[in-house]
Structure 1
């Protein structure tokens, strides 16, 4: 694998990218302010996988793509960037590995291909995850079990069964799993291996689906799943629109997610006749 560049981040460019003008001290208020602006501005997206471009975890490449090229990315890019930001601001940050469980039954074991952050503030541990797709929490979650925790979007909680923690979201009165973890750290070599699987393995769901998501204002969310654009308000009411052409897809990416792709972009998505 190529040698990575030394980690660094242009904080001013990042703050302009997400429209953040708040304090920069390493406090909980700063952490929450950054998370909220990040998930509302930088979309979760796997488009480069489907465009055959590959996903680089080099810090300079992530900064260029998500900040300067105004694109989005998936967990290794999103949370990798966010960790660089937090470290530059003086936060005590640890990368944590997890298994994404959103809309997956408990009897299914997903690969350990998710990354988020553990942040220590004034003797308390907080979990920050700006890269878990359409369910990215918009505030940090305190590492505290069996307590409903409010966010600007959906309520969250952490539970533990045996040695495994579960991050859950409450939707319509029902708690649903987002991811599971053991608080094991995820060094860069593990991220490289997981990123290779996620972006290249034929059975990776990122190879067979368009996934783009962004948190909206007032508790709402905007999600694109293949040709289904879902606009959900803060009460959970959804408006669904079906896309019928690549031109319509490119227009939606620009309008709702700020992602500009060329008209001749070629998506490698088996069975998606509507893209032809």
Structure 2
């Protein structure tokens, strides 16, 4: 399948019949549609499978095989689309601090993108799991920025590093720290190798899944499923069987499950570990 056909298929999945112009409205619309249409998921690392991040492999997996992916896949594909549409965009990387102190110096394992429109810089990210922003965020301001979901804000330390924060249940939580260093393929390869193979990676042997919808976020951590609403408390429950888990992955998250001999056994192990 040609690159042009891939782009057309991608845009079709996002609800476009023709290529939209490279404007801020388009960027906002693309990001929101993407996080609601494509699922963040780590089935490959759960099964200890390789995660190739060259663009043809990512497009095959996500657009043709019915899968999702994580930041090195989803933000890679999204950036390629933005560039094809004429956006001034490039990839950057960051350090995840979610769940810990915002000033922690963690590994550089997250990929996102920098977009410049009419001299104004934005970050755009479609690959940050359950707390992915649903709108691009203006970079050079520290004001609170509304999205279709939670409010976000960015802070700058004056020395080149930015921190992304999200307001959850009235509390500001640091998500990741990033800078604007130019990145090349080898930088992404190294980060992806760590995330997909290192024994201390939070993705290896673990299932992390997320997809947004209007007014809510669906998340799955191993066998623990939650729906997080904007206007009422979250609903959470542990899944009771591998069949229930597989049905959720297919029906709620829209994933075409890989034909892997160990998938059911692995999912059954997640369920048993959570009981």
- TM-score w.r.t. the length of structure 1 is 0.91
> Is contact 2:36-2:213 (8 Å) kept?
yes
Counterparts of residues 157-196 of structure 1 (less than 5 Å): 157-163=153-159, 164-196=161-193
Identify unmatched segments of 5+ residues in structure 1: 1-5
Which SS does the other structure have where 2:272 is aligned?
A: helix
**CA drift at 1:172:** 2.1
Shift in alpha-carbon separation, 1:24–1:64, aligned structure 2, 3 A: same
Q: Which runs of 5+ in 2 are unaligned?
A: none
1:52 and 1:245 mapped to 2: Cα distance? 21
Alignment pair present for 1:155 and 2:151: yes
Are the aligned partners of 2:92 and 2:114 in contact in 1 as well (CA < 8 Å)?
A: yes
What secondary structure sits across from 2:247 in the alignment? helix
The structure-2 alpha-carbon separation of the partners of 1:29 and 1:22, relative to structure 1 and needing over 3 Å to count, comes to: farther
Determine if the alignment matches structure 1 residue 132 to structure 2 residue 128.
yes
Count of matched residue positions in the alignment of Structure 1 and Structure 2? 270
| Residue aligning to 1:104 | 100
**Deviation digits for residues 21-54 of structure 1 (CA, Å, limit 9, x no counterpart):** 5861000011111100100010111111112321
Most deviating of 12-21 and 140-149: 12-21
Q: Name the structure 2 match of 1:204.
A: 201
Alignment partners' CA distance in 2, 1:242 and 1:66: 27
CA–CA separation in structure 2 for the residues paired with 1:203 and 1:8 = 39
- The C-alpha deviation readout for 1:56-93, integer Å capped at 9, x for no partner, is 11111101111111211000001000011001100011
Distance 2:103 2:178 in 1: 16
Two-structure CA RMSD over aligned residues (Å): 2.3
Tell me if the contact between 1:9 and 1:88 (Cα under 8 Å) persists in the aligned partners: no
**Quick check: 1:12 aligned with 2:14?**
no
TM-score by length of 2: 0.91
